[in-house]
Amino acid sequence: MFNRILYEGSRRQAESISFSGVIYAHQWRVSIGKCVQYLEIIAKASFPQELADLVIYLLL
């Protein structure tokens, strides 16, 4: 399922189709706690329009 989400985000970027954005972390490489910490930082440090049309990978 997650690979499909990444594919769809990349496809929409390539075709200039607007979307709300995707933040991805591999489920075996990042703990849930770390994901929550980073998502909180991203949410507090940015506006929704800044994340639009982006695919962001959390490489931890």
pLDDT 10s digits, 15-51:
999 999 999 888 887 788 988 999 999 999 999 999 9
Is 90 exceeded by the pLDDT of residue 12? yes
DSSP class per residue in the chain: -HHHHHHHHHHHHHTT-----EEE--TTTS-HHHHHHHHHHHHHHS-HHHHTT-EEE---
Q: Would you list the domain boundaries of the chain?
A: 2-57
Is 70 exceeded by the pLDDT of residue 60? no
Whole-model pTM?
A: 0.76
